[in-house]
Amino acid sequence: MSAQQLRVDIARLTEAIDPLKTVLVNLRDQRAVRCDPGRSDRLAVATGHLESALAALETDRKESIRHLSASRAPVDPVARLPREISTRIFLHLLPFFFVDDAANLLQVCRAWTKIAQATPGLWTHINSGGTAPGKFKNILKLWLSRAQRLPVSLVLDHVDSPIRDIVEENSHRIHDLAFLLRPEQRDNWEEEIAMISERCFFDALRSLTIQSSADVDTGLGSLLDSPRHTLNMLRGMPKLEEFTFLFTFYKSRLQPNTTILTLPSLRRLSLGKFETEYGHPKVADGQIIGGLRLPALEFLHIRLNNPEDETHLFHMLDRSSPPLNTLQISINGMSATVFACLHSVPRVTQLDIAHSLHDKITSRLFDALASTPSLLPDLRHLRVFGLIGGPSVYASVLKALRHRKSRLRSFRFIILGEMTRSLPDAFEPAFRELIAGGMDIFIATDWKRINYLL
């Protein structure tokens, strides 16, 4: 049968089906009204016959549609693609963020549905965001089934008993796990995290994120009771390589007698992070560092709020001797302990340091870089968020850059606040000379409205 004949057949069947659907609705309405038994029986028989006839017509129409689709296949470039090619296209282009992304493929056509369902890699990124708690359990089970035996990434913004059971059952498959703490669930989250840490052993986990939604007014995130539950969870993740902790803080301090936990594979630890090239850093509680030994650590972001945090960091670095090459640190002052921390990581090639208290911190840092060659001898990239109160700070910066010009490749200075609006004329030629010598220098003021000075 030609394509034109199939289209005519489909139109004819559709014209026959639509009126019958209306009649069927009327018959069902009449049966719903109380009437004598004889009439009720006759209506039932008529309804049954009509349902059978309608089903036969629907089947014929679907068959005609199938034949029409098949007749188009030879000229349809998508239909002619081998399944393996379609699979690679799906895996390459799908953004893997929302639950609907992969599911939308099922709505395109029957061929794509079969390919999508038979492609485990499409179902390995599972995100509960925006999904009602009662519905996510079934979605989670379905996606885990379609992912077959592949490792999965799981993002949870809520946890209840059924989800916890599924996570426990599949903990050996989870390579990436993220908890997104919502403020309205603060009272439940720590209990859920504690229960998961007691029941689950994530022997394949590579990446863990615990992130709270920051309060719009205060900028603060969730408060957990103590670092103990977090450390207990980490004990069940022996192969963890990356841990990110954002907008989350503890009510109580780390106990002095805490048993030190060694994470032999952890390479990246972000207790907060720099959000953009120009913005203030996102923060988190850094005291958990006091309970860790990290011999493989290569990247660290941490905020030091007080001398106790500085001491925790120093002891961690001292007992770990990590091959740290990137250090992002937010400080309240350049104390002797902070300098001791910097001296203990001679392999660091990139240093990002932020503060917003007074410009003496900036001067102390650059004076030390100029006068102490043993301080960060391999430093290649330096980024500073700080204050400048006058020309003397620029003099310290220039002195340090000149002493480090043979090794330092890039320098970024983001001047916070409203202190300075332009680079003093006396210093600009010196900075230009360093740029001409090959150093990449960027100086800007006001992190909200970047004004380029160099």
Per-residue tokens: 74 = 């030879």
Amino acid (one-letter) located at 400: A
Q: What is the pLDDT of residues 390-401, one digit of tens each?
A: 677 888 889 999
Confidence (pLDDT) at 30: 73
Candidates 261, 269, 206; CA nearest to 229 is 261
Confidence (pLDDT) at 20: 78
Confidence (pLDDT) at 264: 97
Confidence (pLDDT) at 253: 79
pTM for the full model? 0.73
Confidence (pLDDT) at 299: 97
Q: Which ranges of the chain have pLDDT less than 50? A: 73-76, 97, 216-219, 275-280
Confidence (pLDDT) at 3: 66
Candidates 195, 250, 193; CA nearest to 221 is 250
Confidence (pLDDT) at 218: 47
Confidence (pLDDT) at 187: 59
- Secondary structure E strands in 331-368: 350-354
**Helix, strand counts (H, E) of the chain:** 14, 18
Amino acid (one-letter) located at 13: L
